[in-house]
Every structure is written in C-alpha cells, then in structure tokens.
Amino acid sequence: MTTATKTDAALFEFALRMGDNAVVLAQRVGAWCGHAPAIEEDIAFANVALDLIGQTRMWLGLAGEIEGKGRDADQLAFLRDARAYRNALLVEQPNVDFAHTLMRQFLFDAWHHPMLVALKSSADARVADIAEKAEKEARYHLERSEDLIIRLGDGTEESRQRMQAALDALYPFAGELCAADALDADLAARKIAPDLGALGERYLAYLKSTLADATLTAPVGAAVRKGGKQGLHSEHLGYILADMQFLQRAYPGATW
C-alpha cells in the first residue's frame, strides 16, 4: 500500500467521524422541536440542528469524494449501519431531559470548537475549508451552551441538581473525544488534524473552570467510555438509525 492511499483511507475515516458526530447530534437535538421549555429554545436548538446538518453534508461529502466509490453524503448518512458509523458515544446519548441535552451539547461544543479552530490550519485544504465555515457556527453553539450551563448550574437548587446529575451521567463520554488512536496519531503526524492529547488538556482545563463557574463538579475517577470512533456503539445508535433511515430503506432507489 502506498503512502498516498494510506493517507486517504485515514482521512476518509476522519471525515466520517466528524460528519457522523454532526448528524447524530442533529438527530438528537432536532427531536426537541416543539417540545422545549421556551419558544426561544425551540428556535435555538433548531438552529443548532440546522448548522450540524450543514456540517454533515460537508464532511460526508468530503468522505465520499475521498472514498471515490460514488457514494454521496446522503448515501453515507442513510445507508450505513451502526457498525460503520464513526460518531463518538457522547452524541448518541439520549435526550433524557433538557438538562442532559444541554450538558451533552456543552461537553461536545467545548471540544468541537477548539477542534475546528485547529482544523482551520489543516495541511489538507478541503478540511481547512470545512473547518473555516463550521468553526463560526460552533463558536456560537459554545457561547450559548456555556452561558446556559453557568446560569442553570448557578440557578435554583433544583436546576443545579439536574445539571449535576446530567454531568455525572455524561462526563464519562467526554474522554473519548480526546482519546487519540493510531488513526488520529497518523493524521496529526501529517498535520492534517491536531494532536488530540494537547487539545484534550486544554479541553479538560476549560471544562474545570466553566463547571466551577456553574458550581458543578466533574465526577472524580470516572472511567472513560469509548468505542464509537471504531464503530463500537452504545445500544442507542441502532434506534437513531432505524428512525433516521426508514424512508431510504423502505423505498430503495427512490429519490426525494
């Protein structure tokens, strides 16, 4: 195998990881539409979902292009099964309540934004282009999540307890976002993607300080839950895909 095809295979996987994070999280937050605690939140989460769908189209479009087998973003989103999905476990966790939804979003945005900032300097121009667009949206997502985490953590006793419970449940999944595997190391060596270890240190420092502002405490010694990047998911993903892919599966070959 030549170096060039090896790079392509890794980059294909990487684009899937970025795109799958976006599409799975969009499925989750899109489900809040019409059910959020305030109209402003219906609008805000619809907005986030919309941004993430746009990013999905860019990342999965790039993945299809790199793969070179004629699969477009829709085929990659709607016709891959759970074992071929590459999203982190965090984004597939259920909505549970609005506290879990906000905490999941915060833990993701706090990683996603610096990740995209770093990817703007990617040695691969296509990656840098996508990151350039997506970073602006992710910055807005993070501003909003950070603000809400602090206000609700430092709100009533009930809102603090709910946010703490959500943090306890979701914190174990945050580690996966920064856990580099061989593929990440390979891309970092080629300057296509950042060193996840260094990004992870900054991520944890940021979480610590923001959670303190929110009067919340990250659980100590929580084991890192991972596997999503290798297609080893929680039991939740199968249901997300059954729902999302139903029309494409029920009417194969139809155009919509």
Partner 1 sequence: MYAQEVKSTGERPKTLDEMAPQERAFQLRVDADIKIEPKEWMPEGYRKTLIRQISQHAHSEIVGQLPEGNWITRAPTLERKAILIAKVQDEAGHGLYLYCAAETLGVSRDALTEQLLAGKAKYSSIFNYPTLTWADIGAIGWLVDGAAIMNQVQLQKCSYGPYSRAMIRICKEESFHQRQGYDILLKLCAGTAEQKEMAQDALNRWWQPSLMMFGPPDGDSVHSAQSMAWKIKPMSNDDLRQKFVDQTVPQADYLGLKVPDPDLKWNEAKKGYDYGAIDWNEFYEVLKGNGPCNKERMEARQKAWDDGAWYREGLMAHARKSAARKLAAE
Assign residue 122 a region: left if phi > 0, alpha if psi is -120 to 50, beta otherwise? beta
84 in contact with partner 1 (CB under 8 A): no
Q: How far is the CB of 67 from partner 1 (least distance, A)?
A: 17
Choose, by CB under 8 A, the member of 63, 77, 183, 192 that binds partner 1: 77
8 touching partner 1, by CB under 8 A? no
Out of 2, 40, 68, 182, the only residue in the binding site for partner 1 (CB under 8 A) is 40
Q: What is the CA radius of gyration of the chain?
A: 18
Residues 88-107 that bind partner 1 (CB under 8 A): 97-99
Please tell me the distance from the alpha carbon of residue 100 to that of residue 15, in angstroms, as a whole number. Answer: 27
Q: Which is nearer to partner 1, 38 or 125 (CB)?
A: 38
Distance, in Å, from the CA atom of 153 to the CA atom of 148, rounded to the nearest integer, reads: 8
Q: Are 150 and 213 in contact (CB under 8 A)?
A: yes
- Measured over the CA atoms of residue 77, residue 81, residue 84 and residue 87, the dihedral's sign is positive
Site for partner 1 in 144-183 (CB under 8 A): 150-152, 154-156, 158-160, 162
Angle (CA) 116-131-43 rounded to 5° is 80
Two structure tokens written together for 126: 């296509």
217 binds partner 1 (CB under 8 A): no
Residues shown for the chain: 256
Q: Rounded to the nearest whole angstrom, what is the least distance from the CB of residue 44 to partner 1 in the complex? A: 9
Return residues touching partner 1 (CB under 8 A).
23, 26-27, 30-31, 33-43, 46-47, 49-50, 53-54, 56-57, 60, 73-74, 77-78, 97-99, 150-152, 154-156, 158-160, 162, 240, 243-244, 246-248, 251, 253-256
